[in-house]
Amino acid sequence: MPEEVAQAAILLRRDLLQLDILGVEAIPSAPPEGAKGVDVGVIGAMVVSLVEPAGVTAVIDLIRAWASRGQGRSVKIQLGKDVLEVTGVSREDQRRLIDHWIERHAKP
């Protein structure tokens, strides 16, 4: 399972790099010393640096498409202190939650 998550994260990063962004950096997911396993929830965690705030919508749309392509994929998006975490919901609920989150951050 960790290998599948890592591979999905690599593909997501590749897709993100096709957008007009500054960069995508992986957050290290090394287990603490003495741990017997890896927390699958942190494999694939990344920080996306945007050129401008308007790029949030493109990044979210790409992540939404990525999440809908695989069963059991979860997404946690943080912008400042506002966090959106979508796990184990239908595609329709996922779309509705993400749309609502984007609306909160859209410039008037």
Burial class (CB in 10 A: 0-12, 13-18, 19+), 103: exposed
Q: Residue 33 and residue 38: Cα distance in Å, rounded? A: 11
3 pLDDT band, cuts 50/70/90, is confident
Q: Residue 22 and residue 31: Cα distance in Å, rounded? A: 28
Secondary structure element (H or E) that encloses residue 65, with its range = helix 55-69
Q: Residue 107 and residue 48: Cα distance in Å, rounded? A: 19
Is residue 38 within 8 Å of 29, Cβ to Cβ?
Answer: yes
Q: Which tokens go with 102?
A: 């984007």
Higher pLDDT, 36 or 50: 50
Confidence (pLDDT) at 43: 59
Confidence (pLDDT) at 97: 85
Find the helix packing angle between 55-69 and 91-105, rounded to 10°: 170
Instruction: Give residue-wise pLDDT tens across range 12-46.
Output: 888 888 988 888 887 776 555 665 554 445 556 77
With tokens 């912008």, the residue in question is 79
Q: Residue 26 and residue 10: Cα distance in Å, rounded? A: 10
With tokens 């990044």, the residue in question is 59
